Amino acid sequence: MNPFLWPVRSVANGLGLAWWARVETRAPDAVYWFGPFVRRSTLEAALGSFLDDLRAESPASLDHSLLRTHRGEPLTEAPDPL
């Protein structure tokens, strides 16, 4: 990611205009957030390598959706262990 675009991404995210990918896996159960991106096309271009990295962990299933939203930390959500 271009470091000069971080201020633009930050403003877009703060206004809820940034593009994010929400990736949900099962076994392990987790939700990963990938972003922010100013343009959907840029997110789509970068998403493949992120999904490949997650597939390397061999989850039972992997689903994703692209959202225009505001997002902060944490970027990984996992259920609390019992």
Give residue 81's pLDDT: 64
- 69 against 9, higher pLDDT: 69
> SS3 of 11, please?
helix
> Which is nearest to 16 in space by CA: 74, 71, 65, 64?
71
pLDDT tier at 2, thresholds 50, 70, 90: low
Each residue's pLDDT tens digit, 16-73: 889 999 999 999 999 999 999 999 999 999 999 999 999 999 999 999 999 999 988 8
Q: How many domains does the chain have?
A: 1
Domain membership flag for residue 81: no
Range of the domain at 20: 3-69
| Residue 25 and residue 82 in contact, taking contact as beta carbons nearer than 8 Å | no
